[in-house]
Structure 1
Amino acid sequence: MLRELKTGKYVNRDLSWVEFNRRVLQEAQDSDTPLLERLKFLGIVASNLDEFMAVRVAETREKIKAGFTQKDFTGYTPAGLYHRLVKRISRMVAEQYRTYRELTRLLAKKGIDFQKYDDLNATQQKAMDQYFHEIIFPVLTPMAVDQSRPFPLVHTKFIYLSVLLQKEGGNDEDSFFAIVQVPSNVPRVVPVPLRANSKRKSFILMEELIKHHIHTLFTGYEPLAVQDFRLTRNADLTINEEEAEDLLEEIEKELRRRRRGAPVRLEVQKGIHLDALAELQDELQIGDHVYEMDGPLDLSFLIAFADSLEGFSHLKYPPIQPVYPQEFASRESHIELLRKRDVLVFHPYESFEAVTDFVLEASEDPRVMAIKMTLYRVNGDSQLLPALAHAAESGKQVTVVVELRARFDEERNIAWARKLEKAGCHVVYGLVGLKTHAKIILVVRREQEGLRRYVHVGTGNYNASTARVYTDVGLFTSNPVIGEDASELFNEITGFSGPKDLKALHIAPSGMKDKFFELIRREAEHAMNGGKAHIIAKINSLSDQEIIDELYQASQAGVRIDLIVRGVCCLRPGVEGLSENIRVISIVDRFLEHSRLFYFNNGGNPEVYLASADWMTRNLKRRIELMCPVFDTGIKEMVVSILDLLLRDNVKARELLPNGNYVFVQSKEPPLRSQTEAMNITLWKPADLSTST
């Protein structure tokens, strides 16, 4: 029986997420981080919060609206959780904007500044006036609100201006209200011209230009107050897959409905006119769910701004040049090498081109008969998709499982699905009620001995863009057992084949969770019998109550457990009698830690796995996920080296305390920053690579 705690055995998932975003904010505040990188982290905080409000907070508000009062397993009712979330988010937003003001002061000292129109000299003002009239003015649409013109639809996460007006020569009592959308198809950050030889760079935000010229949109009226506002709507898709005749069309309809989702959050400029605020609250039916921002709305623009700024490379991280995996570098054919041995690739330190080249080679190889692949999120300029299309056009059997419900990538995935279908690929949208989140490529090739299967299994999406900024691991193999299981997996997804007793792969939702239980309980048995017992798990999130309870039981049995959890963690480590053998760290650094890796000591006969799944209920019960064992001894050692490196991080690692707070790891060892060390590939991938049998 688990020991009862006054504080509760679990940390709430959403409150844990807020703490994760606070760790991202700490990176923006870290003076050791290059200045423009700090600016990007600040933009990431804003982007993260947008998605959190549109999905998680929206869901909590819907439960409150429906009268739902039941407590979750962490002890919170929806109303109690929402109250706590609002307090913490409000504090974080205030800290976010204090950080913004500090960073802009530091940028100004380095020659990068954001200007107000009134601070520009006459020449600059003239240039900005011309820019406004030639570029911005033609695309603006003033929208008046009166008896004949109802309040227009306000789109989610777009910036608008609220405009209070009076007729020229009138008085304040006779005011009129209008809104103006700040165009999203015109650059928000406008360069201000400086002297020809100046090394400084000055910018002005487009909304500042519109505010200054607002009178040009309302002739015969005088503006009384012009302020920014931004609405966030519920972004969850509600799809009845059982009754949907065409899932693709149903998702397209739901995407259109998303534009009218229930309002969740209203962001307004600090000091907004009270009449304008009252009008917005009334028309948008947002109540008091209002956040005042002491600075520009939607700081996510800082990500692209920092990336695009030229001439200030000294204020950025030194560029990383991913190396081409040394196993493939000296060979013309991936397939010929994979006949002899397995290969592990670690992104972003090693190039994603290795994956692209694998598919390109398969698409051109006349002996390849079939290519099957899952796609969850893919970059817009991907070389993978043209390769698949070419393979289909050349007569190969190409099957692509496209996940249409990958949140916020639905429209892009729909477009790619249509293109692949036109090229002759078999496009499948997965199983009813389950998102396909597994990352796998299967190539079937005719060889002298018969058909042979080549497989790539990954922890991250087949996306070359994110592979440059996410840490992920991919395994290439021609192991026949893994290949046979891969075929069974695709048959289950695309046909009526039921779950089979697979020999190597473990699939959610049919058996992965039970496998984790088996592996955790086996470690507990080893511990109770006096044997070696150690679990290391690297995941993005840990929120499944049953998995947490199994880890608690293993800890009480004496199993040493090290968890590397980047984001949400609902487990409380270090609690006497419950979890004193569990340590949890979170690493937030230059690259997004995204790989899912698992190590079980098994009494000195270790087993190592990589997976697409986190330890979350949605991954283990509502998604098709994949976990693959590592059989090759040398590759096992590589994975263990990666995990060991992360556990020794004492620069960017934070440790989770029993009370739910995170503190930087304290160590007497010399400073070790795992991501910096990982760039030295020889640390975890020895030059004398063993050959698989």
Structure 2
Amino acid sequence: MRELSQYLNRDLSWIEFNRRVLAEAQDPDTPLLERAKFLAIVSSNLDEFMSVRVAGIQDQIKAGFKKVDFTGYTPAGLWKRIMKRTSEMVAEQYKTYRDVMRGLSKEGIVLRSIEELSAAQEKALQEYNAEIVFPVLTPMAFDQSRPFPLVHTRELYMAVLLRREGDPAMEEPYFAIVQVPSILPRFVEVPGRKNSKKLEIILLEELIEKHIDMLFNGYEAISVSPFRLTRNADLTLNEEGAEDLLEEIEKELRKRRRGLPVRLEIAKGMDPYALAVLQEELEIGENIIQIDGPLDLSSLMKFASSLPGRENLGYSPIVPVYPFEFEETEDMFEVLRGRDVLVHHPYESFDAVNDFLLQAAEDPDVLAIKMTLYRVSGESTLVQALANAAEAGKQVTVVVELKARFDEERNIAWARQLEKGGCHVVYGLVGLKTHAKILLVVRRETNRLRRYVHVGTGNYNGNTAKVYTDVGLFTSHPVIGADASALFNEVTGYSSPYEWKAIAVAPSGLRDRLFELIDREKEHALAGRPAHIIAKMNSLSHQDMIDKLYEASQAGVKIELIVRGVCSLRPGVPGRSDNIRVISVVDRYLEHSRLLYVRNGGDEEAFISSADWMTRNLTRRIELMCPVFDPNLKRSVINILRSNLRDNVKARELQPNGSYARVRNEQPPFRSQFESQDITTWKEPV
């Protein structure tokens, strides 16, 4: 029997995370449309996992790399386990999909097949196809005179086998593909039957298949099968040799369209000849997934979000409250001169961040604005405010991270818009992603300059702030302000190593600062004093960090970790990690905040951060961790952490064997996200 490693494998741990997302779709207590959304998230997550993590493992296998990683796996051995577990998860996902669709049918939302439609409905859909769908479609043939068409990653296609009309004896069928246009609704509404209140829908690919002969005049289709290809999405950048990083990334994005195939999804029952053509031309090996149902369930997200009058099938909407500290003033700077302010999204409105920047852009006494942007929403008030500030003559510097995966094109567009508006746009340091979330405003006040700072755990994105839990700190603390200035100087210019007074910055010192804090708790424990660490993050996979936590546990430090996704630490192992508890909360909102509490012998400290405890965050990214000095706000951070730890409805606890079990205890039901809608649960000391 294989001896258990000290560590859980990062990729297998990720699969466990996606299973927890799937469990929300399987939970009958989750509203039906929310279950559909969770199914969509499972698909989107798996797409990214395949195009990045699995693609990297396949590259290692092709290169003949056989070294065992620190969790005990070779690339080939890991690949086999990943394929087995993801295949099992996909089978569960489609079983759940069928269950959800049965539930929706009982509620009057019915997915039909073509054969189930009335003559009147078929006629209406025939008109829709002729007027809306057919003009958008492009048949792409493959034969001796025409090369195999480019198949875009993560797009839905139909493989079509044809024969000439009246020529049934042909040896080999003709082959063509048709892309299912993603610009059109995947779920097509069917005109209702007379005296029926049901909402009837049909899949777009079924409609296309029904009328496929319209695309091939003189031919008849003998087989039509959906398929979907996932390509390697990693960018290979030569940052040092690139004269213009923006142009280099645009070039690599074009290459991404032709990235090596990683996974081929096909409809169950695909014609063997069609599959053989795809395998040969796409040069795809073993990773072929047969799907018993519609390919690409990520489209359920848009469908479930666009059904008016079905509020009873989803979560009750909540309206984020405006932070009460800013509610009765038009001068946020005046508030911040007297106190710091902590905001907790999505329970508190992101409008406070927008208003802070808008006020800075319009204030004649503001001299400079500096900001990092990692992922920005499609309609960004922030970008327009920055451009307006620059046009008003203020010094505006924006560090735009062009390498934010899958947001590269959007960020390139924002960078160009900001440059056009007169902002100084910087693309960060070679070899490092700028992942820190910080906004600095420099203002002239009574013959002196004062710095105002916003530091966040999440992106400056108004859309994700409605569905991600994140924390932001507004402050005019002079030490934090000085550190913020030094950080921007390092990123945008040349600067000698700076001795940080308050914040800790990766890759130069954040890891060491975290080690210091853990070691200090260890010393408290060894001296017989109570020692306690609570940390909240998205992922934990840094081997040295895990070893440091093991050391602290062995010294008697109580360690409670709230890790939403990947966790390579194995808790509850006698003699090594028996003082460590790990939970994961998966619920309505995506848990995204990175928070840290250390007891410090009674002189408690709390921090907010942009960084997960992963190798990439601590060694290959510009990240920051900022202390919360205000005693009341420090208590608020601790209350948020303790609220997560009390969750016995949506929390799962990591077991020593790597599995997760729902937290069950004798306490009254406590669902941390729902309890946090009442901000007094964390803004007032418990």
Measure the CA separation in 1 of the matches of 2:447 and 2:593: 35
In the alignment, what sits opposite 1:142? 139
> In structure 1, what is the equivalent of residue 662 of structure 2?
664
Cα deviation, residue 137, structure 1: 0.7
1:171 is displaced (CA, Å) by 2.6
- After the TM superposition, which residues 275-286 of structure 1 pair with which residues of structure 2 at under 5 Å, given as runs? 275-286=273-284
What one-letter code is carried by the residue in structure 1 that aligns with 2:431?
A: G
Determine the C-alpha separation between the residues in 1 that align with 2:8 and 2:234: 24
* Residue 199 (structure 1) shift: 2.7
CA deviations 1:145-164 (Å, max 9, x no partner) are 11111111111011100011
User: C-alpha displacement at 1:293, in angstroms?
Assistant: 0.7
Equivalent residue for 2:256, pick from 255, 258, 265:
258
**Contact residue 281 and residue 288 of structure 1 kept, 8 A:** no
1:22-65 superposed Cα distances (whole Å, 9 cap, x missing partner): 00000000011100000000000000000000000000000000
Listed one character per residue, the Cα deviations across residues 362-409 of structure 1 (whole Å, up to 9, x for unaligned) are 000000000000000000111011100000000000000000000000
Mapped pair 1:626 → 2:624: yes
What SS class does the counterpart of residue 636 from structure 1 fall into? helix
Residue 412 of structure 1, aligned match among 410, 413, 416: 410
Matched, 1:364 2:362: yes
| Contact map agreement 1:650 1:671 (CA 8 A) in 2 | yes
Other-structure match for 1:119: 116
Report the Cα offset of residue 482 of structure 1: 0.2
Q: What corresponds to 1:87 in structure 2?
A: 84
**TM-score normalised over the length of structure 2:** 0.99
* Alignment equivalent of 2:593, drawn from 584, 592, 595: 595
- Counterpart for residue 163 of structure 2: 166
Note if contact 1:347-1:472 (Cα within 8 Å) is conserved in structure 2: yes
Point out the more displaced range, 261-270 or 214-223: 214-223
Contact in 2 for aligned 1:234/1:264 (Cα 8 Å):
yes
Cα deviation, residue 261, structure 1:
0.1
Tell me by how many angstroms 1:449 deviates: 4.6
More off after superposition, 349-358 vs 211-220: 211-220
178, 181, 197: which is aligned to 1:180? 178
CA deviation after TM superposition for structure 1 residue 687, in Å:
9.8
Question: Does structure 1 residue 153 correspond to structure 2 residue 143?
Answer: no
Which residue among 273, 290, 293 is the counterpart of 1:292?
290
Q: CA deviation at 1:342?
A: 0.1
Q: Secondary structure at the match of 2:595?
A: strand
Q: Which of 438, 442, 448 is the equivalent residue of 2:436?
A: 438
Give the match for residue 555 of structure 2: 557
In structure 1, how many angstroms separate the alpha carbons of the residues matched to 2:666 and 2:513? 38
Give, in whole Å, the separation in 1 of the partners of 2:391 and 2:65: 53
Residue aligned with 1:300, SS? helix
Task: Give 2:46's aligned residue.
Answer: 49
Rounded to whole Å, the distance in 1 between the matches of 2:268 and 2:136 is: 27
Q: Which residue of 2 aligns with 1:691?
A: none
* 1:210-255 C-alpha deviation (Å, 9 max, x unpaired): 1000111112222111000000000000001111110000000000
Q: What SS does the corresponding residue of 2:305 show, helix, strand or coil?
A: helix
**Alignment match, 1:611:** 609
Alignment equivalent of 2:546, drawn from 545, 548, 555 = 548
Matched residue type, 2:165? E
The whole-number CA distance in structure 2 between the counterparts of 1:499 and 1:568 is 33
Alignment of 1:223-234 (within 5 A): 223-234=221-232
2:118 aligned with 1:103: no
Q: Which residue of 2 aligns with 1:456?
A: 454
Letter of the 2:541 partner, please give it: S
Tell me, which stretches of 5 or more residues in structure 1 are unaligned?
689-693
Q: How many pairs does the alignment contain?
A: 684
- Distance in 1 between the 2:293 and 2:81 partners? 24
Distance of 2:220 and 2:368 partners within structure 1: 68
CA shift digits 1:639-673 (9 cap, x unpaired): 11111111000000000000000000121111100
Residue aligning to 2:272: 274
Question: What is the match of residue 11 of structure 1?
Answer: 8
The superposition leaves residues 186-216 of structure 1 with CA deviations (integer Å, 9 ceiling, x where unpaired) of 2222110014764321111111111000111
In 2, are the aligned partners of 1:655 and 1:664 still within 8 Å (CA)?
yes
Q: Report if the CA contact (8 A) 1:524-1:558 is conserved.
A: yes
**Structure 2, unaligned stretches of length 5 or more?**
none
- The match for 2:58 is 61
The CA distance in 1 between the partners of 2:674 and 2:570, in whole Å, is 29
Question: Aligned-pair RMSD on alpha carbons?
Answer: 1.1
Partner of 2:463: 465
Distance 1:276 1:540 in 2: 42
Change beyond 3 A, Cα 1:460–1:196? farther
Percent pairwise identity: 68
Partners of 1:556 and 1:577 within 8 A in 2: yes
Kept after mapping to 1: 8 A contact 2:636/2:685: no
Query: Which residue in the other structure is 2:480 paired with?
Result: 482
Q: 1:423 aligns with which of 408, 421, 428?
A: 421
Per the alignment, residue 29 of structure 1 pairs with 26
* Superposed structure 1 runs of 4+ greater than 4 Å apart: none
Matched, 1:220 2:218: yes
Of 172-181 and 446-455, the range deviating more from structure 2: 172-181
Question: What do residues 597-652 of structure 1 show as CA deviations (whole Å, max 9, x unaligned)?
Answer: 00010111111100000000000000000100010000001111111111000000
Q: Structure 1 residues 56-65 or 492-501, which shifts more? A: 492-501
Structure 1 range deviating more: 209-218 or 425-434: 209-218
Which among 497, 500, 503 is matched to residue 501 of structure 2? 503
Partners of 2:631 and 2:39 lie apart in 1 by: 42
Equivalents in 1 of 2:215, 2:298: separation in Å? 28
Residue 517 (structure 1) aligns with: 515
3-state DSSP class of the match of 1:308? coil
Partner Cα distance (1:632, 1:535) in 2: 19
Query: In 1, Cα distance between the equivalents of 2:493 and 2:504?
Result: 19
CA distance in 1: counterparts of 2:194 and 2:603, whole angstroms: 68
Instruction: For 1:170 and 1:157, locate their aligned partners in 2 and report how far apart those are by CA, in whole Å.
Output: 35
Query: Contact 2:402–2:411 at 8 Å: present in 1 too?
Result: yes
Deviation of the 1:435 alpha carbon: 0.2
**Aligned counterpart, 2:527:** 529
Q: Does the residue aligned with 2:181 lie in a helix, a strand or coil?
A: coil
